[in-house]
Amino acid sequence: MSDLPVPAGTVPAARARIGLWGGAPWADPARRDEARAAAREVEALGYSRIWLSGGFDPGVHPVFGLLLGATEEIGVASGIISVYAATPEETGRGSAELEREHPGRFLLGLGNSHAAIVERSGVDYARPYSRTVEHLDALDAAGSVPPARRVLAALGPRMLRLARDRALGAHPYFTTPAHTAWARQVLGEGVLLAPEVAVVLEEDPARAREIARRHTTGYLTLPNYTTNLRRFGYGDEDFADGGSDRLVDELVPWGSTATVVAGIVRHVDAGADEVAVQVLTASGDDFPLAQWGDLAHALIG
């Protein structure tokens, strides 16, 4: 199903692989040495891919080349680059350069972002689905990024079908195991499904949910996410104040390493080929190497 091999462990290679979703510190120019060292450690731990936001600047952010250059085999993916922030020429050129320098290791993730974010830059958030299709059409016409080297941020049925038909697969963000199961039904078999899953390695319920809500609060103001969550029985009462306990607990597995691993495995059981694990911490501004190591030992072996 997927384009890279996975090491065996608690999640067997035949079922899924485990990637890592990284936050803001990775792209901080002042922390490049830390990012390089972290990437090497993540590779040594056996993670299959590092996923990072592409940000909202034009083109393919330099951080992707930085991490590829610091490592030997691990994949690196943009999760995602907005089709409103970058032109097809920019994403195509940047991806092609990385493919030449690091063959088969960069995966271009594209998405249509959110109206509130796009319009903050003075851009009209019009026709998001059509804009994504046009971006893919331009990449195909240029021959710069073949479908097997790109994925789409997909939540709803139209974008999932587009990911199935025009890309390697889908990279849903901020979703539940129920969405993963439904997305697999829409995609069918043989199409990459790589959801992001945020986790908190903290056993105190109040503290864990406090950390989780720092992550969920902003996202629950964005209609793309709340519309998707409504499909699975959540409503306004679940979106207030950073999310109800029942929603937060579904979106962000928390607890001991074993409990968090069980939450990740729920997505695998639901049909994920790859899970991009995002470890949330109290500071939100660190490279949590010890926690990455604990999860790698439990999940990958």
Q: Which domains does the chain have, with CATH numbers?
A: 17-208+254-299 (3.20.20.30)
Mean pLDDT in residue range 184-209: 99
**Of 291, 264, 289, nearest to 18 (Cα)?**
264
d(CA 293, CA 46): 10
Q: Is pLDDT above 70 for 8?
A: no
Mean pLDDT in residue range 213-242: 98
Q: Is pLDDT above 60 for 4?
A: no
Task: Quote the pTM value.
Answer: 0.94
Mean pLDDT in residue range 80-88: 95
pLDDT at 47 (0 to 100)? 97
Mean pLDDT in residue range 131-146: 98
Mean pLDDT in residue range 126-147: 97
pLDDT at 7 (0 to 100)? 35
Q: Is pLDDT above 90 for 55?
A: no
pLDDT at 116 (0 to 100)? 85
pLDDT range class, residue 64, cuts 50, 70, 90: very high
**Of 111, 196, 98, nearest to 159 (Cα)?**
111
CA 176-181-185 angle, 5° bins: 140
pLDDT range class, residue 148, cuts 50, 70, 90: very high
Cα 189 to chain centroid, rounded: 20
pLDDT at 49 (0 to 100)? 98
Mean pLDDT in residue range 103-111: 98
d(CA 217, CA 111): 21
Q: Which residues pair with 235 in a beta bridge?
A: none
pLDDT at 301 (0 to 100)? 86
- Lowest average pLDDT, out of 11-15, 43-47, 143-147, goes to 11-15
Mean pLDDT in residue range 136-151: 98
pLDDT range class, residue 115, cuts 50, 70, 90: confident
Mean pLDDT in residue range 262-280: 98
pLDDT at 3 (0 to 100)? 40
Taken in order 33, 202, 181, 118, the sign of the CA dihedral is negative
In tens, the pLDDT along 174-191 reads: 999 999 999 999 999 999
Written as one letter, the residue type at 288 is: P
Cα 35 to chain centroid, rounded: 18
Mean pLDDT in residue range 227-247: 98
3-class DSSP state for residue 185?
helix
d(CA 53, CA 221): 19
pLDDT at 118 (0 to 100)? 86
pLDDT range class, residue 16, cuts 50, 70, 90: confident
Alpha carbons within 13 angstroms on the beta-carbon side of residue 59 total 11
Taking each continuous run of H as one helix and of E as one strand, the counts in the chain are 13, 10
Q: Is pLDDT above 50 for 6?
A: no
pLDDT at 1 (0 to 100)? 29
Mean pLDDT in residue range 283-294: 97
Q: Is pLDDT above 90 for 112?
A: yes
pLDDT at 117 (0 to 100)? 86
User: What does the DSSP 8-state code read for residue 220?
Assistant: T
Q: Please state, for a pLDDT cut of 90, what percent of the chain lies above it.
A: 88
Q: Is pLDDT above 90 for 223?
A: yes
d(CA 240, CA 234): 11
Query: Mean pLDDT for the chain?
Result: 94
